[in-house]
Amino acid sequence: MQILNANNTNAIWNLNGTELPDSVMDSAVAGFVLRNLHQKDLETYEHSERVSKYALVIGRALGLLPEELERLRLAGLLHDIGKIAVNLAILSKPKKLEHHEMATVRNHTELGQEFLLSVPGLERYAQVARSHHERWDGKGYPDGLRDQDISLSARIVALADAFDVMTQGRVYSQRKTPCDIANALIAERGRHFDPCVVDALLEVWREGLIPGIEALRSSVEG
């Protein structure tokens, strides 16, 4: 799936021999890659944009540094890039997936990692693409990693990802109410998700800081 190499990215973005900051380079290369996702699968592209925004506000609440936040933003945008290589008919199938179809969908984690490792400048985002479906309790995929063996970025993107599925709904799952989402997050705190990351999300949600999402009223929890 190689579409860029170090020479042509330098030729495009380093016209006067002046080095651009890493974040600008990454952002430009990511934009190029994401245009392919936008063309192939608009739903996944829009999902990735929301996940990136949610990850960013969670990262801010956790006190990440500006450079870490910029990397988290791009990791959120690129986390599902492996879906470019998955048949759209399977991704949008409105019924329960067959076993082999589920395996194909799950493989987007490894495909995403492989793809990002092949694009100069985006290698650092490959690990989140691979690990964003790991779970805090070790029951996730593809590696069954648990708690802090999963990077903080992947733990944040995992929660942002699930939050978007719950708030938007999917062909295979209905949109949930804020009350149900808050209760689901609390129930999965320390199981599916890192407890600290759940706490950070609930905090920014209560404060009304999540883009496009109404503030969580404290009365809907518990």
Q: Does 161 bind Fe ion (CB under 5 A)?
A: yes
Cβ at position 96, least distance to Fe ion in Å: 18
What single DSSP character describes residue 80? T
Nearer to Fe ion, 25 or 111 (CB): 111
Cβ at position 57, least distance to Fe ion in Å: 17
Contact region for Fe ion (CB under 5 A) — 18-26, 64-72, 79-87, 181-189? Answer: 79-87
Q: Does 80 bind Fe ion (CB under 5 A)?
A: yes
Q: Does 194 bind Fe ion (CB under 5 A)?
A: no
Question: 27 with 78: CB under 8 angstroms?
Answer: no
Chain position carrying tokens 């805090």: 136
Strand partners, 189: 193
Q: Does 41 bind Fe ion (CB under 5 A)?
A: no
Q: Does 134 bind Fe ion (CB under 5 A)?
A: no
CA triplet 166, 169, 171: central angle to 5 degrees? 140
Burial of 90 by CB count in 10 Å (0-12 exposed, 13-18 middle, 19+ buried)?
A: middle
Question: 114 with 121: CB under 8 angstroms?
Answer: no
How many residues bind Fe ion (CB under 5 A)? The answer is: 2
Cβ at position 180, least distance to Fe ion in Å: 20
Residues in the chain: 222
Alpha carbon distance 44, 81 (integer Å): 9
Cβ at position 217, least distance to Fe ion in Å: 27
Contact region for Fe ion (CB under 5 A) — 24-32, 74-82, 135-143, 145-153? Answer: 74-82
Chain position carrying tokens 């540094």: 65
Q: Which of 83, 93, 95, 139 is catalytic?
A: 83
Our answer to whether residue 83 is catalytic in this structure is yes
List interacting residues with Fe ion (CB under 5 A): 80, 161
| Residues assigned a catalytic role | 83
